[in-house]
Structure 1
Amino acid sequence: MFNTRVPFYREKENYTLFYDVDKNQLYRLPHTKRSSGLYIIAFLLVLYGSYTLNDIYQNYQGFMINLALSLITLPLSFVIAKIFYKGYYIQDQMSNIYIDQANLLNYAVQGNEQLHREVFGILFALVITIICFIIFFVMGLLQSLVIGVMGFVAVWVFVFMKPYSRIRLYKKVQRGEIKL
């Protein structure tokens, strides 16, 4: 479903507009309604659980075990991000929308601004992730590994949002190459 569709514009936590490259159409996908409190509670539970497991882990930790855990967490973060990304949209409520060129250009400008904010946010998350993995390798703290994995999840979600394709799409709209 997401292979040929590029996220174009997100309206807060209500919906996202996707542009289908093959069909030259714009689609609206609503977001699932989830409480941010649920994510905070899950984050705290995972972090507290890693704090508890850290006492046990300290007896066994070493470079090879740290390396193995790090290598295991990379594909795990990918899977978690994929599940989160696909579950974020209500796919059976997708609707085709028609807008004029002026609104299309307006959405492109706003979408480009959103992308710039996302880039800065993901760069910050990437720096925190790298710091956490360094702390994990140096000190063997499971909490830093957990935070690092969550950072990788954010990076993967950003990659799924096709930033390079979005940049190209915004430029095409601004040059008038895309007409709906």
Structure 2
Amino acid sequence: MKMNVKNLFAGVILMTAVSACAPSQVPFTNFTAFTEDLRRDLENAGIPLEKVQFYNDKPITVKREGINPNDINVNSEGSISIQNGKTIQTINVRPFTPGVVLGTGGGSMNVSWDDTQQDTKGMRFNLNGNQYYLSTTEDAKLDYKGSLFDIQAGIGTRLFVNKDLLKQVNVQRETQKGRRVGGQ
């Protein structure tokens, strides 16, 4: 019995040490929020947003339940039968997952995290203040891939970029003090 307790204790210490060494999240020090000012700077520098690597700062989980239309049958009496039951689709995007822009509009960007290359529209992010936030409806739904999903996690998710991107943009700003008549 003492031998098992020692082995158990050693195993717990080993697991604690291993889990303490594993990073729990990506550090914010490598990233910066993507702002409207940065978007303007990139566009002025001739860098298309499609060439920029984006990241999400929070986990996104969306879910929808539905029935495949091919599984629904109606018999001659008008009774509906469903062959395989309902389908539950859940999509997870972990924090700081790399994404790409698929389209932009005034004050919005559509970003895709889908590594299968089948996502043609992406998730919409809207400008709010000076940053881009995941676009959701008031009742916590997200329009994605032509379907309406319930948001399980991710409300308030912002777009981030790697700070190395800032080194590619040469920004020069001046504040003019004004000029008076007569040269003074």
TM range (shorter): under 0.3
| Larger radius of gyration between Structure 1 and Structure 2 | 2
For normalisation by structure 2, the TM-score amounts to 0.26
For normalisation by structure 1, the TM-score amounts to 0.26
**Greater fraction helix:** 1
Of structures 1 and 2, the one scoring higher in RCO (CA 8 A, sep 6+) is 1
